Every structure is written in structure tokens, then in C-alpha cells.
Chain A
Amino acid sequence: MLLEPFLRQCRHQPEAIALVEDGRSLTYGQLLAQSQAIAAGLQEMGVKPGLPVAIHLERGIDAAIALFGVLFAGACYVPLDLKNPPPRLAFIVNDAQAQAVLGLGAAPTWLDKGEWLDIETCPEALPLPIDIQAASLAAILYTSGSSGKPRGVALSHGAVAAFAQWAADLVGLQANDRIASSTPFFFDLSTFDLYAVLGRGASLHFLPSALNMAPARLSVWLKERAISGWYTVPSLLAFLSYKGNLAQTPLESLRFLFFAGEVFPSPALINLAANLPRTTLYNFFGPTETNVCCYWPVKRAQLAADKPIPIGLPAAACELRIHAETGELWVRGPSLASGYWGSGRLQLFPNQDGWYATGDRVSQINGEYHFHGRLGRMLKCSGYRVEPAEIEASVNAMAGVRDCAVAGVEDPATGQRPALALVLEPHLTSADIRNALALLFPPYMQPKHCIALEELPRLANGKLDYQRIHGLLNRKP
């Protein structure tokens, strides 16, 4: 069901352009043939349906071919964030029990070579047909885990298809649309690019990464490509709006923008709305576990610099409810993930009549939902989820660390950053810990600062007093 709309496009318009990247493009027919060759290669390796295959490629045409190859083999894909240091990548591949890792050229040194498949070595071939059910897993997206290790959110074919169809219908996606793609495939935003866009026969244009740092060239690229839609993050849109020279580069083809992943500050959104008077803007909201569960078509007249924007209305046929005591948002519906993938198997979410408790605190005002932050300790850093418990588990495992705690500090550039309170043996300094962390975690998980204490503040019951720790870490130096 997830692949059917795409396959229909491959039959109806095999010569139409599906993917464009720098100087390279691929038609629907070519994308199908090349991904089927990879599927056949995976089957020859003995890859079984329903189990994970990791993808060791930067976002782009090759990664898209690889990922459809995995799906045509009936397996589910685990896109790796190559910004992670090797130990974390190795953990994810081992934890997923990936049957194979797809990439280009030679295997990375941290990987057991038996699992590696160079996608360019797969000869043209057709895979054996596989019966795929709605509940079959399509993708496992690893995020930081509250249990102290990364964990995978497991998305079924049915869940991804439900979101893709809803989003495509929302903006009436058509074959003549030209959609920009800037999100790595390990973020759930990419499910729109891959399945909504290619399911409707439109073309997907990969934004060159360097343009993230050159906003005026970014706007020229959007204009010259006649991009008609884009699903991205607020921070990049704010940069484009403030510094993208949009007054001299009107984006007349751009008919819609979706944004998600972080809160869009109202002043920046007002600026964007003024710069793009004819573009329809949508705020999407939802943790990876629900994909998009709430959406708000931006009502320009309702925007005010001192008022946060709502997250809006239920999306993708989701039912929403607010827990009476905690104010927590609960979600039930077809786009929900199946559960968490860890240690090579699926752990379903706790059965609560199909409801998933998001950990997000919300309220409802005049029918629209509003977001008020997290109930738990999770941080959002540069759009990535960071669980303080994962950093704490690694630090506590280091020799010479007596105790540690992580809390978020506000950071205007990234939203939040983790900060670290440490109790160390006398021969260690916080610099030793930071140097060790640099080898374990990607940049967005590195602490903004560390403080060394004699002991950590605790509550009367002996538990860490996170409120006081948060206060200590947020004190101005």
C-alpha cells in the first residue's frame, strides 16, 4: 500500500523525472529499475522480509534508490546519521540487528564486512515478489532513547502511507509539482518527500547542503528550479526569510511550505509570511512516534509577535485527547508508529486502546491545540531529540565519574543544548569528560558547558533534584 502509488506512477509515466540532485537526475523508470536491482542483490545475500537493512549514505539519489531497494526486498530500512561517531553507528547497526548495510564503495572500518553491499555492484535484476501487509515495517528511525541508549521508532507501511496520502491531499499534490527535499532520511519529515511526492508523480529536488549556509543562493535555487513546495524546519526558513534576499528573488512558484521539528518563533514567521505573500504555510506537529498528529494552516491575520502559534487541529485522521490531570497529549490513529525497535525486535507501545501518550503538554483554546513544552526531560537540539538519560548513562560509565546529571539550557541558535553537572574523582577534570564525549556523540549532543560539583543536589527521597540541577546549569556564568 505504501509502494502502490509510486509503482502506479512508474507504470504511467516511466519517462517523467522523479529525482534531481546537482547535475544528475533519474526518471521514475530508472529509479524503479535501479532499486529493484538492489532488492534482488539483497535477496541474494539472504536478506529476509520484515527485518532491518541499514543505509550508510548521505541523503540524495543514491540513498533514495537504496531505500526503495530495501522496501522492494520486503525488508525495512534504517537510515544512519553519518554525523554520528563510529561507536554510535556501530551500536545502532548492532542493536537493530541489521541484516545488511547498503553503501557506496568500501565498507567503513567499524563494520563487519560480511554485511556490506555496495549498491553499484548490483546487476540489473528483478527481485522475487514479496507480500507486504499494512502492518509490515517500512522504516526504523533511530532517535535518542530515554532508557540511556538510542532506540528505533518502527513505522509500518500502513502508518507511513496514511500520513503520505493525507499530506498529498492537503495540498493537492500533482505530477507537475516540483518539491524541494532537504531533510535527511532518518527524520520522519522525509516520509513526505519520498512517498507523498513520488506517489503523486511529482519531481523531488535535493537541496545541495552548502546552500544551508548561503541563504541568497538558496532563494535563487528555489526560484530557478521553480520549486512549488517544501517540507522543512523553521530555522532554515527563518534564515531564508531574514537573509535570503527575497525582495530581489520573489518565489512565485512556491505554492506551499510545511514546517515542523521545532517551534517557529512568531516574529520570524511573521517576517516569512510577509516575504512570501502568496505561499500557503502549514505548521506540522508530532513526535516521530505519531508522524504528524496536528497541523495548523497559518492564518496570517492571527499572527502576533508576542503570541506563540497553535499546533492546530488533528491531522491524518488522528484522534486527540488531553489527559485531564497532566495536560499530556494522547494520540490514536492510522499514522501511529508500531512501537520501538531494539535488540533486534519490535516492542509494541503499551496497549492503551490504541492511544499513544506523547509526553507533550498541550491545551485546547477555541478548538485549536497549543503546545506548552515537554512533560519529561527530553530536549530538542537543532531539531534533534536528545534524551539526557542517554548522555548520563555514557558519562556514568566512564572511569573516575562519581555522579552526573544532564539538563537543558536555552540556546538561541539551537533551541536547547544539554549541559552537564559532574562529580569527579580528583585526578579528572571536566575537559577529560568532554573529550571523551566528543568521540561518542554527534555535535548536537555535546554539552554546552559543564560544572563540577562536590555532590549533586538530591531530594529528601534520595532522587536527583533536577529542578535545582537545572537552575545551577542555567545560572549565568
Chain B
Amino acid sequence: MKKKLKNFIFTELIYHEDPASFGEDANLLEAGLDSMGIMRLIMYAEQEFDVTLPDTEIEPDNVKSLNALEKWIRHACQSQ
């Protein structure tokens, strides 16, 4: 899941000179992920992982890193 998310983020949403070196806890928001990027990321994740991510859980804390994203999306998958 993390690999798919990372691939989507760095090919579609933000530029990074070396995505391979971008850590799983590194801050995506500081790297340039903005509100439009978050919206696209959520729509991608909902489709790719067949899950509905609740509106009220869309928060900077849940999208700030690859680890945070994975934890959030896995949690949503389990509770559905």
C-alpha cells in the first residue's frame, strides 16, 4: 500500500528530486502536498483500496506522512 501511495504522490502530486530517499515519516505537507493534492490522493486511495475515507478524518495529521496515510487507510479498511 505504501509503495502505491508513494508512487502516486511522487508521480502525480509533488516533485521531489529523489523520491527513493523520501522517508516514510518525512513530512509530505512540507514537501508540497497541498489541499488539491490531498483531495486527489483521497480519491485515488478510495478507488485503489476500495474504501470510504470519512470526511471528518481528513486532517493534516492523517496525511502528513506515508506512515500516517497507511495507518489511517488501513484503519478505515478494517472498520468497514
Interface of A with B (CB < 8 Å)? 210, 212-217, 235-236, 238-239, 242-245, 382, 411-414, 431, 434-435, 438, 443, 446-448
If the complex has contacts A216-B55, A243-B55, A413-B13, are A443 and B60 also in contact, measured as CB distance less than 8 A?
Answer: no
Chain B residues whose C-beta falls within 8 Å of the C-beta of A242 in the assembled complex: 39
- How many of chain B's residues touch chain A, expressed as a range? 20 to 34
Q: A216-B58, A245-B56 are in contact. Are A239 and B39 (CB under 8 A)?
A: yes
Identify 16 residue pairs between A and B in the complex whose beta-carbon atoms are under 8 Å apart, listed by A's number.
A212-B35, A213-B34, A213-B59, A214-B58, A214-B59, A216-B58, A235-B35, A238-B39, A239-B36, A242-B39, A245-B55, A245-B56, A413-B12, A413-B39, A434-B17, A448-B15
Task: Tell me the B residues contacting A by CB distance below 8 Å.
Answer: 12-15, 17, 29, 32, 34-40, 42, 55-56, 58-60, 63
Task: Indicate if the CB atoms of A213 and B60 lie closer than 8 Å.
Answer: yes
Residues of A within 8 Å of B39, CB to CB, are: 235, 238-239, 242-243, 413
Min CB distance B58 to A, Å, is: 6
Considering the chains assembled together, what is the distance between the CA atoms of A239 and B42 in angstroms? 11
Q: Which residues of B contact A438 (CB under 8 A)?
A: 17
Residues on B with C-beta less than 8 A from A447 are: 15
- Number of A-B pairs, beta carbon distance below 8 Å: 61
Q: Provide the residues of chain A in CB contact with B40, threshold 8 Å.
A: 412-413
> How many Å lie between the Cα of A54 and that of B10 in the bound state?
35
Known: A213-B29, A213-B60, A434-B17. A413 touches B55 (CB 8 A): no
Contact A239 B35 (CB under 8 A): yes
Nearest chain A CB to B61's CB is how many angstroms away?
Answer: 9
Main secondary structure of the interface of B (DSSP, over half): helix
Q: What is the distance, in angstroms, from A443's C-beta to the closest C-beta of chain B?
A: 5
A213 to chain B, nearest CB (A): 5
Distance (whole angstroms) from the CB of B62 to the closest CB of chain A: 9
Which chain A residues lie closer than 8 Å to B36 at the CB level? 235, 239, 382, 413-414
Residue picked from B34, B40, B60, most chain A C-beta under 10 Å: B34
CB atoms of A243 and B58 under 8 A apart? yes
| Chain B residues, Cβ within 8 Å of A411 | 12
Residues of A within 8 A of B42 (CB): 243
B56:A216 contact, CB within 8 angstroms: yes
Q: Please measure, in the bound complex, the distance between the C-alpha atom of A438 and the C-alpha atom of B58, giving whole angstroms.
A: 29
CB distance from B72 to the nearest CB of A (A): 13
Closest to A414 in B: B36
Q: Tell me which residues across on chain B come within 8 A of A434, comparing CB atoms.
A: 15, 17
The answer for the CA separation of A239 and B36 in the assembled complex, in Å, is 8
Q: Are A236 and B55 in contact (CB under 8 A)?
A: no
Which chain B residues lie closer than 8 Å to A239 at the CB level?
Answer: 35-36, 38-39
* A213-B15 contact, Cβ under 8 Å, with A242-B39, A412-B40: no
Residue of B nearest to A215 (CB): B58
B55 touches A382 (CB 8 A): no
Identity of the chain B residue whose Cβ is nearest the Cβ of A238 in the assembled complex: B39
Contact B32 A443 (CB under 8 A): yes
Using A382-B34, A413-B12, A434-B17 as known contacts, list a sample of 12 further A-B pairs with CB atoms less than 8 Å apart, ordered by residue number in A: A210-B60, A213-B34, A213-B35, A213-B38, A216-B55, A217-B59, A238-B39, A239-B36, A243-B42, A243-B55, A382-B36, A411-B12
